[in-house]
Amino acid sequence: MILYISHSFFDYEAGNLCRLFFPYEKLKTVTDLNEAKDDNFIVKAFYNEETTTVSVIKDNTASEKIYKNDNNKDKEYNVTSAIYKSFCEFCSYYPSWGMLTGIHPVKLFIEHIDKFGKVEAERIFKEEYFVSEEKLSICRKIASVQKPSTDKLEDNDFSLYISIPFCPTRCSYCSFVSQSIEKHKKLIEPYVEALLMEIEETAGITKETGLRLVTAYMGGGTPTTLNAEQLKRVINKVKECFDMSFCREFTVEAGRPDTIDESKLLALKECGITRISINPQTLQDKVLENIGRKHTAQEVVDAFILARSLCFDNINMDLIAGLEGDTLETFIDTLDKVVKLNPENVTVHSLALKRSAFLFHDEDVKSYHQNKSLAEKMIDYSFIKLQESEYLPYYLYRQSRMIGNQENTGWAKINTECEYNIYTMDETHTVIACGAGGVSKIKDPYSNRLERIFNLKYPNEYLQRFNEMLERKKEVKVLYEQFRQWLH
């Protein structure tokens, strides 16, 4: 796919729009029209003072449309909205998030409310970004559910993320750095030892910086690939090194049921873990097999019942819409069964096919993945069912190449929201990460500035270049010194 824009500095946004409609096309942006001659898929946009003309030529179909510019808007908006409208007409497809391509639509919505007021923010979403009434309504609800959690934040609050990048096997759609323990079992113990050191160093840095821990989250991968004793060592290290007196919640992703047993759940309970996640993704055995899981739906249910019997009173369950082989009927069956179990939180993801996932290279799956209306129906059903069952949406984020251009939404029974998810997904405050693949996001509490500090990605390199990585982490203190200086 070749993209030519007469004002080429809008390439980035226009490129995102191309991916929204044609997620698997390889995109090349050109500044010379001669380079766009021979391709079988060419998009050209010409801007002048009055109008923007967009022409799309794909295989044997061609269309050319002229759109009148809005004089109150800048060139970027006029060009990108013209491309968006022309793609909608060309594909007869009107994405429910309109031309929004960013990861955090709710964050954008709240920023617009703060800047322009609620009525104008809603008008902009509907009329300028073409967001559907249904998606706007979910933004509205989430903004109001999040408010009590964001209102209580202090400038020096932060959240902690601990990464355990190991899983029993690799799921077919996985794009994380997670390593299967079939191949990397030997790395686990040295990894835990290094992680304990990083937690201690990080606690020292946050203390010197004057930060206050308010939520903690252990994710991955699947943290419960660690044994009970290793889990206890990691959690107790956090509790020993950080001041936990302001920490309101500590989540551990128990993730896959084939890693959960009574001894691990008891260890989590004993360490005071307040919330766990048991993630079926689907309760259809055939679909579980398709995605490379080595457990049954019944094992998920058994793990949930076991956790309840051990008094876990805040359990999340993750589901994915758009898994290979799942139909609307089987998705409905899964969600209904999950709701019957009555977990406090349900998170409904839309499958995102990333380049690093095995599935990305499977042409049959790609064509299934382009079944936008199926994904939309699944997500629509989850909205109806979960609202009927007294769940409120409390956070939402999007990724590129999501089936049907949908979203991931966290739902919670009243007052059981995971605040870590709110703070991290909408980048409300600083999140400091420990462990391989972790990314610390240092947020200036007085502005929108956000700086990232990357840990090493894979367990092997994490172990080999550990000291170098710790050095980088000291940047946290330097950044906060800058933020505070700028304020004065």
Which residue's CB is nearer to ligand SF4, number 295 or number 385? 295
Residue 89 CB, nearest approach to ligand SF4 (Å) = 37
Q: What are phi and psi of 66, to 5 degrees?
A: -115, 125
Question: Do residues 323 and 173 lie in contact, with contact meaning Cβ atoms separated by under 8 Å?
Answer: yes
Residue 278 CB, nearest approach to ligand SF4 (Å) = 12
Q: How far apart are CA 333 and CA 329, in angstroms?
A: 6
Residue 227 CB, nearest approach to ligand SF4 (Å) = 17
- What the block records as the tokens of 2 is 């070749």
Which residue's CB is nearer to ligand SF4, number 220 or number 459? 220
Angle at alpha carbon of residue 290, lines to 287 and 295, rounded to 5°: 70
Residue 131 CB, nearest approach to ligand SF4 (Å) = 29
Q: What is the DSSP letter of 248?
A: -
Residue 281 CB, nearest approach to ligand SF4 (Å) = 8
Which residue's CB is nearer to ligand SF4, number 43 or number 167? 167
Question: Do residues 281 and 303 lie in contact, with contact meaning Cβ atoms separated by under 8 Å?
Answer: no
Question: Do residues 337 and 283 lie in contact, with contact meaning Cβ atoms separated by under 8 Å?
Answer: yes
Residue 352 CB, nearest approach to ligand SF4 (Å) = 11
By three-state DSSP, how is residue 145 classified? helix
Residue 207 CB, nearest approach to ligand SF4 (Å) = 31
Other beta carbons within 10 angstroms of residue 444's beta carbon come to 18
Residue 476 CB, nearest approach to ligand SF4 (Å) = 26
Q: What is the DSSP letter of 71?
A: T
Which residue's CB is nearer to ligand SF4, number 54 or number 167? 167
Which residue's CB is nearer to ligand SF4, number 170 or number 413? 170
Find the DSSP H helices in 210-310: 228-241, 262-270, 285-290, 297-309
Residue 178 CB, nearest approach to ligand SF4 (Å) = 4
Q: Is 269 exposed, middle or buried (0-12, 13-18, 19+ CB in 10 A)?
A: middle
In whole angstroms, what separates CA 469 from the centre of its chain?
A: 25
C-alpha distance from residue 280 to each of 258, 289, 348, 365, 425 (Å): 11, 12, 11, 21, 22
Which residue's CB is nearer to ligand SF4, number 171 or number 273? 171
Q: How far apart are CA 99 and CA 88, in angstroms?
A: 10
Which residue's CB is nearer to ligand SF4, number 16 or number 175? 175
Contacts of residue 200, Cβ cutoff 8 Å, sequence gap at least 6: 237, 241
CA atoms within 13 A on the CB side of 329: 0
Q: How far apart are CA 47 and CA 28, in angstroms?
A: 20
Task: Kindly list the residues in this chain that would bind ligand SF4 in the complex (CB under 6 A).
Answer: 167, 170-171, 174, 176, 178, 220-222, 255-256
Which residue's CB is nearer to ligand SF4, number 35 or number 302? 302
Which residue's CB is nearer to ligand SF4, number 171 or number 442? 171
Contacts of residue 479, Cβ cutoff 8 Å, sequence gap at least 6: 442, 444, 451
Residue 185 CB, nearest approach to ligand SF4 (Å) = 15
Of the candidates 220, 212, 155, 154, the residue with the CA atom closest to the CA atom of residue 181: 220
How many contiguous H segments (helices) and E segments (strands) does the chain have?
A: 18, 18
DSSP bridge pairs for 55: 44, 64
Angle at alpha carbon of residue 92, lines to 89 and 98, rounded to 5°: 75
Which residue's CB is nearer to ligand SF4, number 105 or number 221? 221
Which residue's CB is nearer to ligand SF4, number 37 or number 294? 294
Contacts of residue 140, Cβ cutoff 8 Å, sequence gap at least 6: 109, 122
Residue 323 CB, nearest approach to ligand SF4 (Å) = 11
Residue 25 CB, nearest approach to ligand SF4 (Å) = 26
Which residue's CB is nearer to ligand SF4, number 85 or number 354? 354
